[in-house]
Structures are given as C-alpha cells and as structure tokens.
Structure 1
Amino acid sequence: MKAVFEALEQLYKKVLFGAPLDRDSHDYISHLNPTLAEQDCSEAASSECSDLQGAQDTPQLPAVNVCLKRSTQMSSARELTLLQLTVMRVMITRILSLETESPAKEQYRHMILILLKSSEVDLKLICMFQDSDKLLSHMAAKCLALLLYFQLKEKMTLSNSWIAFCHKSLSEYSGSDKVAHCLWTLTVVVKEIFKDTSSQKAEILKQFLAPFDTVLEEFYSSFFSQQFEKLQDASKTINSLTCFLELLELLIASRIHLKLHFTCQRLLFLKPSCVLRVITWPVQAFVKRKCIIFIKKCLLWKVGEDLCGGSLPAFVPPDPHLDGDMLALANAVLQSVDLGLLRTLSVHGKRSYFGGDVIQPGCEPAPGPDHVILRAASLLILKSLEIKFQHCTSANEMKVDLQRFMSELLTFVKPHLQPSLTSHNPCEWLSKVFIEQDDDMLEAANVSLGIYRKVTRDYKTTESLAQGERTWNQHTHENGYNPHCIFLFFLRNIGFDSTVLLDFLISSETCFLEYFVKYLKLLQKDWDNYFTICKSFAVTESKDSLTICSCSHSLSQDKSHNQKEPGHLAPLRNHRNAHTQVPEAAESSPEPLSPAVMAKETQTTLQTKDLDSSKAPWSLVDYDSSEDSEVESPDQYLASSKQISFHQEAMMKIQATDKKNEIKKECSLEPPSRILVPKELTAPFSVDCDTASTSIIYEVGISHRTVKCFQELQGAVSRLQKKNLFPYNPTALLKLLKHIEAIYNKDMNPL
C-alpha cells in the first residue's frame, strides 16, 4: 500500500501543475482505480473487532492488537480512496481547463477514457454514495459529476449504471440519502454545463436532460405531495428538498438562457402549489426562506443570475408557454395569500444564516424580524399582482384585488417596521422594508409603478371620472402604491443627492434606469398630482419635526449668515432620513435672487444646448421605443430649447481660461443654471409661525429639491457624455430631465 501511496502522490503533483507524465498511462490506471474490496474488508474488520470484544469478559491483548491492526487498515484504505478521488477530480479539471498544455491534456484524457471503459468506475462511485463517511460520499458524488460532464463533452453515451441509479432513486423515493446524492450530482453537472464557454452547451444540456425528463416530473409530484408531519427522518427530506430546489432553479434558468423546452423546466409553473405548500410545513426558517426566495426569483425571471451573468442572450427563441406559466404561478401565489399564507408565515425568533439557524455563542444578533423574508414576501405579492393585471381587463376587478392583497400585505409588514408606519402615509412601507437592499427596493418600486400605470390607465378609460381624481388618489395612498410618494421617500432616504442617482444610472446591478425613465414619463403627465402630493408630503414632514418655529428661526439665521442657501431649504435639514449622511456640498445652493431677476434668468436658462450624442459608444435602452414614448417627441423638446443662457456662455469662457476652474467645473455637480424660486419665499417669516406659509415653504421646498436634484444629475450626465464616459446614450434621458425642469419653472412662473 505504501508503494501505491507514493505513486499516487507523484501523479497528483504532476497533474496539479499540469505537467506531462513520464510513465505510460496504463502504469497509473491500477493505482487510480478505486478498489471496493478494501472497503468491504474494512467493514468486515470493524464487525470482527466488535465480535471479538463482545465474546470476552475481559479485554485480552491479542484481541486488542487485532482491532488496532484492523483500524489502521481501515484508516489507510480510506485515505487511499480519498487520494484516488482527488487525483481523478483534479485530472478532469485539468482536461477541461484551457490553460493546460496539449501534450499533458491528451495524456490525462487518455487515462480517463481507459478508466471509464475498463473499470466501471462510475458504478464504484455510486456504491460509495451509501458510505457512512460523509466526506467519502461527498467526494464520490463530486468526482462522478465531473466524469459525467467529461462524457458529455466527449460526446460519449452516458453511463447506464448512472441512469438506472437515478431512475430507481427518484421513482422509489423513500427519504434516503440516495435521493439527495442523485439530485446533488445532477445539479453539479448542470452547473458545469452552464460554465461552459462553448456554443454547444445547449446541445450538451439537451443530451443530459433527455433521459431524466419524465422521471423528474414524477418525482416532483410524489415528493411535494407527502405529509411532512408523518415523516420519520425529516432531515433527509430537507436535504433532498434543498437539493431539488437548486436543481429546479437551474432548469428554469436553462429555459431562459438556452434554446430548450423540456417538461422538467416547467414543473414549478405546471404545479406551483406544490412548492408553495412547503412554506406551511413545520420546518426550519431557512427552508421557508429558500422556498420564498426561489419563487421570487422565478416571478422576477432572475433565476441563475450568478451562473449566467444576469443578462439574457442576444436572441432567445419565443417561448410559447411563458405568459401562461407566469400567470399560473402568480395566481397560485395570490391564492395562497387568500388562504392565509402571510398569516402563517412567521418572521420572528432566531434568524437563519447560511443555510442554518444555529448561531455561535457570543455572536447573537440584535433582536428583530427576518427582513429577507419580509422583502421576498412583499415582492411575491407585488409581482404577482402586476402579472395578473397584465392579463386582466376589468378595472373594477383590479381595484378590488389591489385593495384586498395590499391590505393583507400592509397588515403583514406593519408590525415589523421600526419605527412604525405613520398613519398619514402608508406608502412609506416600501422604503422601510427594502431600505437595506437596493436591488429589491428598486424592483419593488418599478413593479409598484407598473401596477399604478396599468390600473390608472384602465380605470380612467372604463370608469366615469365623476368619482373624481381625489378619490382615486386616496385609494392609491391607502393601499401604499402611489408612485409619487414612493419616489419622494426614495429621494428623502438618499438625501436628494444626485450623485447617488448617478451611481444607480451607471450601475447595471439594479433596474433603476428602467424605473427612473418610467417615472419621469409619468411625472410629465401627472405633474399636478405630484405637486399636490408634495404639499401633503411636506405638511406631514413639518408635523413630524420638533417645532416649526425652530425651523423658521434657523432659516432666519441661515439667511443672515452669508445667505448660502435659499430659505425654503433650511427647514428640510431637520427631516432627513436618519440613516443618510448628506455631504455639505450637496446642501449648498445659489444665493436667492429677486423675483424679477429670477424670472428673467429662468427664461434664458431653462434648456442648455443639446449635446451631440453621436459619440456615445452604444445605447443600453431606447427610451423612445417604449409604450408611451409618443409623449416626448423631439419637437416638444426643441420648442423649449430656443434660447441659451448668456450668463452660462460667459461663465464657460471665463472658466476655459483658468485650468483650475475648468477642473472644478468638471468635477462639480452644481449646474450652471438656476431653478426659479417662487415669490412667496422672499417675504420675511412671521414670528408667529403661520401654518399656511410654512406649508408653502415645505411644499415648494420639496419640489424644488427634487427638480434641483434632477438638474444636478442632468449636468453630471451631460459632462460624462461629452467625454464619452457614460456607458450608454443618455440623450432621451436628458430630454426627460429638461422637460421636467421646464414644467417646474412654468408652474412657478405662470405669467
């Protein structure tokens, strides 16, 4: 055995560095082939030791020596087998690697082919699945998965032993470890196929899934139909469940990213209630969390992002079942909520971490709910409603569903929010639930905006407007999906900082670009409602402050000290989100001008000179091709951009002569033009803190800060576009921002 160890160690070192072999391949085969006989001898030796010790009243020296000898043999056999599996795994990895040189790769490939054809190594690895040694069984499964992938790459027929083992394990499910190992091995092979950089991975996956399509469908039905409470060994079932959910996610991802349409890829959509039923099982929190996150990914069509890079291929053939499958899943989620899913879903107690809920002593987290489950459950309901409404034509039905399910959702999340939601604006729930997760927060805001646009459009076309806009707006507030409130809470959380918006626009990790463009288009058409909401938003903000008098007193002080910021911005300093630190540079603003000067300058600075977008490297999104792009035709923008600020031109010429000023101008986000401040804000403040005047201050202050943030963003994007540093063509986005600024200035100066 010592000679075998030495030969394997030498082989391992060569393979590890990708070096060519100095001996014939056949010389290594006998050492590399796992020997089950030694395993059987080890088990027999263990049994023999027990018999020897049990047969004697007092331990005798010969018996002890025999047991020690047998134990040493068992340990040596185990180490030898682990070394053999490790060498095989590294060798296959080297074969698949592009960095391995051709001579060495061909030698390794020749050895594996001989091993597969002559020694039935796959059957031996399957037998190791049942070993009580967890490390040995895991290594065997990992090695077998790589061997199967190697066979697929070599266009070899899959092992009959492996196919028979899978069919037997999945069709005769009994809660044993065989099922978990089978599912885990299937998952690893699919992952390896996804990692393949060649153009043939769709064909490889098709060859691999073909023998298991029917048996996976049968296993899906039988596995989820069992009664968990009556199981004797729940741990094995949970192991199989986690493995199966991971495999299902990969199968759905292959449906999205590859040109395949197997039945096993649609199992969740054909019988969605099966997986949803797991959430009601009496299992650990991490199992429920895994199920909820899995369904959330499926609804958002984001399965397999870590393997597929998060982006769809350039061309995906049409999926004839896609719309129906998504609708079936959405309806199943809503039906489960109707049956009390949220009322039975607990987010209290110990939170789960990394697949378990056991926390080491001294590492206990602060008490609180599991926000991962809160976010996932919230997105489940929002996305399900959006999908259902896409196929719904009755405005009244949508209104009833919205009220019912949003009421259920708000009842579910409210007790877990700290601080609790204020009664005057339930729309704040979204920013509180998703404050720790940017991608989910923007996804939820985008879905909520889609619901609002769909329901509002259908409601206005099918229902009489005699009920009034006020009643409809109240409905959106009460059910927490008013898009203007959601956006204002988002801006407040980031301190109205345009640099944060710029980061979101540049990053591809969230759907902010899509959401922002949709919201700007809505804002153009719904400006009056937005301005009314600003008033109500500002009044509630002022009520939540310590005193209005202290705000106006602070305002007077700020106005008397160098007048560094407009008066209507000072009260807002007391109302930032507690979690957001706003730089002082973002707070500063130009000195207030008299109404006459402001009106004159505003008329000449509404629009800046259109920038040449032909130098932009590529366009990420064609905004003008969206569903309501007709509202921003080029003529509308050109009509409002006939004048150029003479002040701006003069400043640009001055700064061009000074290098330092030029650098400062490029780095600063402060735009050269000014936003009109209404006349009321230039009047002195009353010592009696008049409520009406304070409301005007807050109302215009919030709308001013919003548009000022947009203007700063517009300036930053324009400068980046000039230098070809912006990742896509932002011309349409800049037009939207300019149009919002023009609407605001026109509203502030109707004459």
Structure 2
Amino acid sequence: MKDFFEVLEQLYKKVLLGAPLENDNQYYISYLNPAFSDQDGSASTSSEFENTLRVRGKCQPSPVNPSTTSVAPVYLNSAREITLLQLTVIKVMVTRILSVETELQAKEKYREIIKILLKSSDFNSELTCMFQNLDKLLSHMAAKCLALLLYFQLKEKITFSNSWIAFCQENLSEYSESDTVLYCLWTLTAVMKEILKDTSSQKTEILKQFLTPFDTLFEDFYNSLFSQHFANLQDTSKIVNSLLCFLELLELLIASRIHQELDFTCQRILFLKPSCVLDVITWPVQAFVKRKFLIFLKKCLLWKVGEDLRWGSVAALKSPNHHLDVDTLALADAVLQAVDSGLLRTLSVRGKPSCFGGSDVPPGCEHPSGPDHVILRAASLLILKSLEIKFQNCTSAKEMKVDLQRFMSELLTFLKPRLQPSLQSHNPCEWLSRVFIEQDDDMLEAAKASLGIYLKLTREHEAAYSLPQEKETWDHHTHENGYNPHCIFLFFLKNIGFDSIVLLDFLISSETCFLEYFVRYLKLLHKDWDTFFTICKYFDVTECNDSINICGRTSSFVQDRSSNHRESRPLTALGSHRNSHACVSWVTAASCEPLSQVMMSRESHATPQASCRSSLQAPQSLVDYDSSDDSEVESTDPCLADNKQTSLYQEAAKEIQDTVGASGEKKELSLELQSMPMVPKESNTPFSVDCDIAPNNTVCEVGISYRTVKCFEELQGAISRFQKKNLFPYNPTALLKLLKQIEAVCKKSMNPL
C-alpha cells in the first residue's frame, strides 16, 4: 500500500505541474481507477482492496525530481486517503486538459488517459455510487470529479452514459429527502458553471448538448419540489437544502437563456409558473431562505442572473428577445398579484445582525433590534421594477395611475413602521434613499425604475397639462406616491454631500446603471427646470424649519461632516427632514407661508459666508487619492495601460480639488457663480433661505439649487479635462452636451431675452 501511495503522490506532483508522463497509458490507468469503499468507509480492511493494491504495487514508480515542487499531499496509508488522492489526480488532470497553459504534448497524454479511463469501466456510475457514502468528504470529492468529467465529455463531444442519465432521472423525477438528490443537483450546477464560463465559440452547442436530455426532467423536479407542504415535513432542513441547491441551478438556467440563443422549457419554467417560487416567501422558513428567493426574483427582473460568474468575452447580452420580454412581463404580473394578495403583510423582516466569524451573538450580549434591510431593499426594488415592466406594456393612463397608487401605497405602508426614524409625511419620496442608502447599485436601479414610471405616466398625461391646476394635481400625485424624480435625485445628491467626485466615480464605474439613469434624468431636468427649482424651494424651507427646531444640535451636527464625512452624509441628508412640524407639505403647499418671506438678498446669496464656502468644497474622498499630476505620461505610456482606471480616479480628485481648493481659483469661481444666479425667470431675486440661527450652520444659508448646479459645473469641468487628455473610458460628448444644456437653461431662467 505504501508503494502504491508513493506512485500516486509522484503522479500528482507531475500532473500538478503539467509535466509530460513517460510511461504507457495502462500503467497510469491501473493506479487511477479507484477501488471504491463501502458506505461505511471500511474499505481499508477489505481483503479485496488490499489484494488490488498489492498487485498494482508491483509496478515501479516513474522517477520524479522532488525539488521540482514543494506541494505534496499528507502521507497517510489508508484506503480512504488513497481514494481521495486518486480522485484529486483525476480532477487535476482534467483541469490541465482544459487549461490553455498546459503544453500540447502533456495535454494529449492526459486526454488519452482520461478517455481510456471513461471507456474501461462505467466510471460515471462508480462515482455516483460514492454519493451515498457516509464519508461526506469522499462524496463531495466524487461529485467534483464527476462534474469535471462530464464537462470534459461535453467538450470532447462524448455522449453521456446511459447510467448517468438514468441516475438523474431516478433522483430528480420527483422530490425526495435523500442526500443523493443534493449531490446530483450540485453536480449538474457545477457543470453549468463550467459551461457558462467557457470562452469558446462552441458554448451554445455544448449547452444545447447538456440540456437536451434533462429538459423535461428539470421541469418535473421544479413542480415536485415547490408543491411540497412545508409544514407537514418532518425534517425541514432537507427541503431547505434542496431549495437552495435547485435555486442556484435555476439561476444558471435563466442566465444561459439571457446570454445564449436557446429557449428550452427548463430555462422558462420560472416564468411559466412563477407562483411556485413566490409561495416559498410565505413559507415558515428561515429568513435567509426568503432573502435568497427575493434577491433571485429581483435579479430575474433586472436580467442580472448569473452576474457572479466570470463571464468570458461572449458575456454580452444577445439581441432583444420577444419571448424573454413576454416572460419577464409574466413574472412582473405574478409579483404584483402576490403583493395584491397580501405578500408584504405576511413578510417577516425581523433583522439579525451579521457578526464577524458567524451570525450568532455571543452569550450575554444583546443585539440591536431592527428590520432586515436586505429584505426591505429586495422587496422594494422587486415591486418598483415590476411596476415599471408592467407600465411599459400598458397603454391605459387611468389603469396605470390606479395601479401605481395602490401598489406604492402598499409599499410605503410596509416600509414606514420599519424605518427608524420613521418616514415623515411632508415628502414620501425620501423612502428610496432611506431604504437603499447602503446599496448603491440597487439604489440606482430603483431610481431608474422610478424615473421610467414617471416618464411613462407623464407622456400619457401630457394632454392634461393645459391647465395649471391639473399640473399641480399631477405633481401632488407624484409626491404623494413617492416617485417624483426631482425629489429622488435631490435626496441622492444630499446623501453624497453634493460631491462631484462621487458623481465622477459613478460615471467611470461600470458596476451600476448610474450613467443611464443620469442621462435620462438630465434630459428631464432640461425640459422641467422650473418644476425642479420649485422643489428646491420646498427642500430649502423644510431644511430651514427643521434646523430651527433642532438649533441646539445643528452646530455640532454640521461639524461632524468634516471629521466623519462618509458616515455623516446620510445623516445630514436624512436628518434634516425628521423633526419638521409640516410647515411645508406637498399636500398643503399652496396654503403655507409665502416663500418671499424667507428669501435672502441677492448679495447674501451670491457671496456666502466663509463657513458656507468651506462646506461647499469637495469633501474628503472615500479613497486617499494620489495628488501627483502625471497624466501626460499616463496617456502615452503603453506600460501603464492596465493602470488607466486608477489614474482616472487620481486625476479626477486632483482636477476637481484644484478647482475648488486653491484660494485664487476659489475667488474666481465665486465671482463666476455670482454672475449665474440659479432662479427661474418668474422671480426677481436669487433664492436662498435666511434663518436666524447660529453663524456656523450652513444648512439653510445656500439653496439646494445653488449646490446642485455648482456640483454639475465641477463635474462638467472634470469630464472636459479628462476628454482632452483621452483619459475618459468612453466618449462623454453627449453627456457634456446635456450638462451644458442645463447650464444654459439655468442662465436663461435668470436673464430672459
């Protein structure tokens, strides 16, 4: 047995390095074909196994230079360890065959050995027998080895053995509590991952070859699994494991449909029968299971399933697919029907804090009570995206308005008691920034969906804008239901401290949909500037009243921004609306105190106090960027091409900070802004709010519109400088054009001709 193990150990070292093998193929086959152990793992005492090792041990090992590698398995002379080493060698050998780094001569030798091994016996069947082994490590290694062998067969166009297909049919035709089902699902999922990560042009054919024998089988298992009555099961952990395993496989099936031109039934099963998955959310299962399913449904509506895979060069979405659009609409309708049936009212969102190294709180320590914000975000975005998808396919303005009011009312009712401090009635649009404050990508997806809903309804209601009263009623409806795009964007800017560097980071990054959202919003802002400015007034008055109400705490609150910028931004933005006594309300705005009574003079607006100027400077970035200016080298030196993304951030920080940081340029910028007051043409004086509060409180001294346009101006300047130096990752011409249009409409509102 010792000699046998040494031969395997040397073979492992060679294969791990991708080194050529000198002996004939049968020599290696005799060592790689495992003598499988019994279910109780007692094969080490089996005389048959001992005899097998004794016969194989007569072969002399090929010489290996020990200095060529420092990697070696633990030396344990037992049947279990030998079997594990055999499976490991096979797995590494297949990996070497699939790797482009392996030398051609060695790769061909490995390929011949694996093909002979597959033909010499029903190797797949022998591996599936190990799924029932009580030794979980052996079962897991057998599943990993089998998954790679199956993928190898697909690549080599080797037909699956009948025993493997029969094994899958036996275990997946209907749900059972056997562990074998889990290993079967895990193996199929691993094969799918390997296929989807493949960068070859044959990916579609390989996927088709894999799915053809299992198409109806996956559908049968879907129906059987989700038809189980959870409350009647004795061991609920078994079905939870099956749910999570099958959910991962289901996500890969849907991802393969989005990225490949295939349309199998198993890829559509979720969209054909979505209520099955939605019902799981109402089951009395653990919170993490509901969280998984909500996130999965959200990904399906956003077409982000499989986003965690490292896609190859063919990862781009295919051309628009009408059938996929229809299926997505069916899923969105099913989600809204579930909400209409009381899904949110039965959804428990009791939170449990995540702890380093685990999820359990140490004894004697109390964890803070609060909602599960992951569930809140997923449920909110799920509803918002479902509404957007439904409205894209709806032509009745009346129906859309009724649906929007019903579902948004349901959502806001669900959120209000779970957000601490609770949402205030004077601006329900605050809900979006409050819910998604910790998740940038979801926040921007929600903002984009909300903007899409607004634009769709606006187009349908344009005929009703002939009378100012009807326009006012429409604006009230958008605020009451929490989807006014101007409010949502202003809350977003407040959360990032009106920092143009953050906007630039979002524009450069491809991790969010910010570019698409920002372009669509700027187009709206260009046409709807007066409405935006009116909303800015409401924001300013509300902030002023809130600041007066909490005057004793405002000074220290603002000072915290400089010392803890990242943490205080959300508090500054959100806290300003928490203690208002509804002096300004979207419902009763017409009856409130005239805005002219809270306006400042033109001079005080154009020249804010020194403390105000300092608060408007670009705050400290989340990363300590390098301030060195080496952009010319970066743009010409090909050796630094890989560092281009990093240089973009460094250049952005320096350029923008230079604009607002240098004393000479700061004065010039201030004079430039004085010549461009931000007021609509109906008003004769620039707007800001004058409050009798402490001098170092800058919350009310400069209007929201001033800070917004100043942020846009800084952003425009930074993008222009990047474009001139060819440092921007894409062509920003259209974006700059939009920003210049905003600047023009702002000037025109002040100086009409």
TM-score by length of 2: 0.77
The 1-side partners of 2:689 and 2:412 are apart by: 43
Whichever of the two has the greater Rg, that structure is 1
| CA deviation profile, 1:37-94 (whole Å, cap 9, x unmatched) | 6667827979xxxxxxxxxxxxxxxxxxxxxxxxxxx992221211111111111111
Corresponding pairs, count: 635
Cα distance change of structure 1 residues 701 and 687 upon mapping to structure 2, 3 Å threshold = closer
Is the Cα contact below 8 Å between 1:228 and 1:234 reproduced in 2? Answer: yes
The 2-side partners of 1:264 and 1:731 are apart by: 44
Cα distance change of structure 1 residues 272 and 568 upon mapping to structure 2, 3 Å threshold = farther
Cα distance change of structure 1 residues 227 and 567 upon mapping to structure 2, 3 Å threshold = same
Is the Cα contact below 8 Å between 1:285 and 1:351 reproduced in 2? Answer: no
Q: CA deviation at 1:411?
A: 1.4
The 2-side partners of 1:235 and 1:681 are apart by: 65
Cα distance change of structure 1 residues 465 and 254 upon mapping to structure 2, 3 Å threshold = farther
Please list every run of 5 or more consecutive structure 2 residues that lacks an aligned counterpart in the other structure. 47-75, 557-599, 622-635, 637-653
Counterpart of 1:209, as a letter, is L
Counterpart in the other structure of 1:589 = none
Q: CA deviation at 1:286?
A: 1.0
The 2-side partners of 1:455 and 1:31 are apart by: 70
In structure 2, the residue corresponding to 1:508 is in which secondary structure?
coil
In structure 2, the residue corresponding to 1:307 is in which secondary structure?
coil
| CA deviation profile, 1:355-399 (whole Å, cap 9, x unmatched) | 995566699764422111111100000000001111111111111
Counterpart in the other structure of 2:30 = 30
Map 1:131-142; keep pairs closer than 5 Å. 131-142=133-144
The 1-side partners of 2:33 and 2:735 are apart by: 64
Counterpart in the other structure of 1:261 = 263
The 1-side partners of 2:12 and 2:212 are apart by: 35
Is the Cα contact below 8 Å between 1:568 and 1:701 reproduced in 2? Answer: no
1:537 equivalenced with 2:547 (yes/no): no
Counterpart in the other structure of 1:567 = 608
Map 1:245-284; keep pairs closer than 5 Å. 245-284=247-286
The 2-side partners of 1:713 and 1:286 are apart by: 41
Q: Percent identity?
A: 69
Q: CA deviation at 1:419?
A: 2.6
Is the Cα contact below 8 Å between 1:505 and 1:513 reproduced in 2? Answer: yes
Map 1:397-546; keep pairs closer than 5 Å. 397-461=399-463, 465=467, 468-546=470-548
Q: CA deviation at 1:312?
A: 7.5
Counterpart in the other structure of 1:625 = none
In structure 1, the residue corresponding to 2:322 is in which secondary structure?
coil
Is the Cα contact below 8 Å between 1:542 and 1:548 reproduced in 2? Answer: no
The 2-side partners of 1:565 and 1:466 are apart by: 32
In structure 1, the residue corresponding to 2:132 is in which secondary structure?
coil
Counterpart of 2:619, as a letter, is V
Q: CA deviation at 1:18?
A: 1.1
Cα distance change of structure 1 residues 172 and 330 upon mapping to structure 2, 3 Å threshold = closer
Map 1:93-172; keep pairs closer than 5 Å. 93-172=95-174
1:705 to 703, 707, 721: 707
Map 1:720-739; keep pairs closer than 5 Å. 720-739=722-741
Cα distance change of structure 1 residues 352 and 685 upon mapping to structure 2, 3 Å threshold = closer
| CA deviation profile, 1:583-623 (whole Å, cap 9, x unmatched) | 49xxxxxxxxxxxxxxxxxxxxxxxxxxxxxx9xxxxxxxx
1:77 equivalenced with 2:79 (yes/no): yes
Cα distance change of structure 1 residues 365 and 105 upon mapping to structure 2, 3 Å threshold = farther
Q: CA deviation at 1:438?
A: 0.7
More off after superposition, 673-682 vs 269-278: 673-682
Please list every run of 5 or more consecutive structure 1 residues that lacks an aligned counterpart in the other structure. 47-73, 585-614, 616-659
In structure 2, the residue corresponding to 1:316 is in which secondary structure?
coil
1:3 equivalenced with 2:40 (yes/no): no
In structure 2, the residue corresponding to 1:674 is in which secondary structure?
helix
Q: CA deviation at 1:314?
A: 5.7
Counterpart in the other structure of 1:209 = 211
In structure 2, the residue corresponding to 1:496 is in which secondary structure?
coil
Map 1:4-403; keep pairs closer than 5 Å. 4-36=4-36, 42=42, 76-307=78-309, 309=311, 316-351=318-353, 358=360, 366-403=368-405
The 1-side partners of 2:306 and 2:655 are apart by: 48
The 1-side partners of 2:656 and 2:325 are apart by: 53
In structure 2, the residue corresponding to 1:305 is in which secondary structure?
coil
Is the Cα contact below 8 Å between 1:382 and 1:444 reproduced in 2? Answer: yes
The 2-side partners of 1:685 and 1:103 are apart by: 81
Cα distance change of structure 1 residues 496 and 553 upon mapping to structure 2, 3 Å threshold = closer
Is the Cα contact below 8 Å between 1:257 and 1:308 reproduced in 2? Answer: no
The 1-side partners of 2:108 and 2:661 are apart by: 56
Cα distance change of structure 1 residues 565 and 159 upon mapping to structure 2, 3 Å threshold = farther
Cα distance change of structure 1 residues 157 and 480 upon mapping to structure 2, 3 Å threshold = same
Q: CA deviation at 1:750?
A: 3.5
Cα distance change of structure 1 residues 31 and 746 upon mapping to structure 2, 3 Å threshold = same
The 2-side partners of 1:663 and 1:473 are apart by: 38
Q: CA deviation at 1:172?
A: 3.5
The 2-side partners of 1:155 and 1:184 are apart by: 22
Cα distance change of structure 1 residues 354 and 93 upon mapping to structure 2, 3 Å threshold = farther
Cα distance change of structure 1 residues 674 and 92 upon mapping to structure 2, 3 Å threshold = same
Q: CA deviation at 1:413?
A: 1.6
Counterpart of 1:674, as a letter, is L
The 1-side partners of 2:357 and 2:380 are apart by: 21
| CA deviation profile, 1:402-461 (whole Å, cap 9, x unmatched) | 111111111112222233222211111111111111111111100000001101211233
Is the Cα contact below 8 Å between 2:656 and 2:714 reproduced in 1? Answer: no
Cα distance change of structure 1 residues 258 and 569 upon mapping to structure 2, 3 Å threshold = farther
Cα distance change of structure 1 residues 160 and 750 upon mapping to structure 2, 3 Å threshold = same
Is the Cα contact below 8 Å between 2:270 and 2:277 reproduced in 1? Answer: yes
Cα distance change of structure 1 residues 198 and 268 upon mapping to structure 2, 3 Å threshold = same
| CA deviation profile, 1:633-691 (whole Å, cap 9, x unmatched) | xxxxxxxxxxxxxxxxxxxxxxxxxxx999956998979653523774699979799xx
The 1-side partners of 2:351 and 2:422 are apart by: 19
1:674 equivalenced with 2:673 (yes/no): yes
Counterpart in the other structure of 1:719 = 721
Cα distance change of structure 1 residues 226 and 501 upon mapping to structure 2, 3 Å threshold = same
Q: CA deviation at 1:198?
A: 0.9
Cα distance change of structure 1 residues 41 and 136 upon mapping to structure 2, 3 Å threshold = closer
Counterpart of 1:399, as a letter, is K
The 2-side partners of 1:683 and 1:455 are apart by: 32
Cα distance change of structure 1 residues 721 and 37 upon mapping to structure 2, 3 Å threshold = closer
Is the Cα contact below 8 Å between 1:193 and 1:204 reproduced in 2? Answer: yes
Is the Cα contact below 8 Å between 1:302 and 1:310 reproduced in 2? Answer: no
In structure 2, the residue corresponding to 1:321 is in which secondary structure?
helix
Map 1:630-645; keep pairs closer than 5 Å. none
Is the Cα contact below 8 Å between 1:504 and 1:513 reproduced in 2? Answer: yes
Q: Which runs of 4+ in 1 moved over 4 A?
A: 37-41, 43-46, 308-315, 351-366, 462-467, 547-554, 568-574, 660-673, 678-689, 697-700
| CA deviation profile, 1:8-38 (whole Å, cap 9, x unmatched) | 1111111111111232221121221111366
TM-score by length of 1: 0.78
Is the Cα contact below 8 Å between 2:388 and 2:452 reproduced in 1? Answer: yes
In structure 2, the residue corresponding to 1:329 is in which secondary structure?
helix
Is the Cα contact below 8 Å between 1:284 and 1:357 reproduced in 2? Answer: no
More off after superposition, 528-537 vs 353-362: 353-362
